Amino acid sequence: MKKVVILGASGSIGLQTLEVIREHKDEFEIIGLAVKENVSILKNLAEEFKPPYLAIYNPQIETPSFTYNPQIFFGREGIEILADLEESDLIVIAISGIEAIYPTKRAILKNKKIALATKEVIVMGGKFLKGWLKNSNSEIIPIDSEHSAIFQLLLNRKKEVEKIILTASGGPFFGKEEKYIEEANLEEVLNHPRWKMGKKTTIDSANLVNKALEIIEAHYLFDLPYEKIDVLIHPQSIIHGIVEFVDGSFMAYLSPTNMKFAIQYALFYPKRINFKWEELDLSKIKLEFYPIDDKMFPIIKYLYEAVKKGDIYPAILAISDEILVSYFLKKKIKFSQIVPLIIKIMENWKGKTEIECEEDLFNLMDWTEKEVIKLLRRYSE
Ligand code: MN
């Protein structure tokens, strides 16, 4: 049995991972579950799977009582302890946001196999990940659907790649007039036409910031220059990734629009198992592709320009987006302000152009946070 730890167990990917594991109970044993603060979900899951180790990120939350005696850890350190357990075989990292970088580092240094769903870790810590991985036997299997697709297409074929194409559904505003984005409220933004995802990713998908993050994610994950990474709108979300090879031929990865395919692949990797979550009847679907409309979704074009100036800009994009999405969720800003503010913040950065050490990253987080506050204050005056 594979001994599995899930960090971010109460989130969208965490819960879907547990659904996959329920289907394959004789193959996996859950030995650790960590949540940010949703202890009622944690309690239910713990009673069902009886993992010996639990972690709760927010130490202010009242700890529930359990019918058995798990060891419970708290805070960042608590999450890191679960990433670090001697006996685990696979760590699923599905914590939302940059915070996931801490347990990811611990798991890599501990030579763990990691199924990684948190794209922000790769986006911001890509450079460090490479360094950590160099001295480790750890392996990262992406859970993001597009990256899982490319990962599966690329196995042992990396030298022959001309370029890769990530697909984007286009989100709820694709094909609509610009005014819909201008006036969009939270409910409209969260109404994603294809994927069932967590709030942050759903919001990021509506302005294609998610796709910008995924371009950066692919750059680090597959060690490809940005010129070799393309994006296409594909509203049906059946093709998740495409690779063009040097001989001009293409291979595409298709699956139903269901994250459990990528999750199951990551859990069983390198094995592909005989279990289908859904059937796909290709005779009933039309597959369409469109270029990105840069006027409607300016962030993609902006990202390609910004990366030419240095590796710090993608990190600023990710950090400012994380802060701005939290402001949008608290109704402090409009959805349509997110992308212009990200661009403004990237333009306002006048410091070094590369992230050289981990401290640079944390300084950048501080600076970005202050910059967001400064810009918003200026707007409200
Ligand atoms: Mn994705």
* Distance in angstroms (rounded) separating the CA atoms of residues 54 and 73: 6
Q: How far is the CA of 52 from the centre of ligand 1 (A)?
A: 32
For the chain, the domain total comes to 2
In a domain, 103, yes or no: yes
Query: In the listed set 143, 165, 196, which residue is the last one of a domain according to the structure?
Result: 143
292 CA distance to ligand 1 middle (Å): 16
Could you tell me if residue 308 is inside a domain? yes
Say whether pLDDT at 44 is over 90: yes
Task: Give the distance (Å) from ligand 1 centre to CA of residue 169.
Answer: 10
pLDDT exceeds cutoff 80 at 112: yes
Please tell me whether residues 234 and 128 are part of one structural domain: no
Distance 188 CA to ligand 1 centre (A): 20
Please give the distance, rounded to the nearest whole angstrom, from the Cα atom of residue 321 to the centre of ligand 1: 16
pLDDT tens digits for range 305-328: 999 999 999 999 999 999 999 999
79 Cβ neighbours under 8 A, 6+ residues apart:
7, 34, 55, 57, 73, 95, 102, 103
**pLDDT digits 0-9 by tens, 153-202:** 998 788 899 999 999 999 999 999 888 889 899 999 999 888 888 899 99
How many A from CA of 146 to the centre of ligand 1?
Answer: 5
Q: What is the mean pLDDT of residues 39-47?
A: 98
Phi, psi of 54 (to 5 degrees): -130, 155
Q: What is the pLDDT of residue 258?
A: 96
Same domain flag for 178 and 299: yes
Same domain, 121 and 182: no
- Read off the pLDDT band of 231 (50, 70, 90): very high
The Å distance, Cα 359 to ligand 1 centre, comes to 28
CATH number for 328: 1.10.1740.10
* Average pLDDT score over residue span 103-124: 95
Banded model confidence at residue 236, pLDDT cuts 50, 70, 90: very high
User: How much is the pTM?
Assistant: 0.94
Quickly state the pLDDT bin for 47 (edges 50, 70, 90): very high
* Co-location of 222 and 122 in the same domain: no
In a domain? residue 121? yes
- The reported pLDDT for the residue numbered 42 is 98
User: Residue 67 C-alpha to ligand 1 middle, in angstroms?
Assistant: 38
**311-370 pLDDT per residue, tens:** 999 999 999 999 999 999 999 999 999 999 999 999 999 999 999 888 898 899 999 999
One domain for residues 228 and 338: yes
Same-domain pairing of 95 and 197: no
Structural domain contains residue 270:
no
Q: Which residues does 238 contact at the CB level (< 8 Å), separation at least 6?
A: 254, 255, 256, 257, 280, 285, 287
Ligand 1 centroid to residue 60 C-alpha, Å: 32
Same domain, 104 and 42: yes
Residue 265 C-alpha to ligand 1 middle, in angstroms? 15
CATH of the domain at 98: 3.40.50.720
Are both 135 and 177 inside the same structural domain?
no
What is the rounded CA–CA span in Å between residue 266 and residue 30? 15
Query: How high does pLDDT run on average in the chain?
Result: 95
Residue 372, in any domain of the structure: yes
109 lies in the same domain as 240: no
Q: Quick one: pLDDT at residue 85?
A: 97
216 and 254 assigned to the same domain? yes
Whether residues 77 and 212 share a domain: the answer is no
Domain boundary among 98, 125, 143: 143
Q: Which domain holds residue 33?
A: 2-143
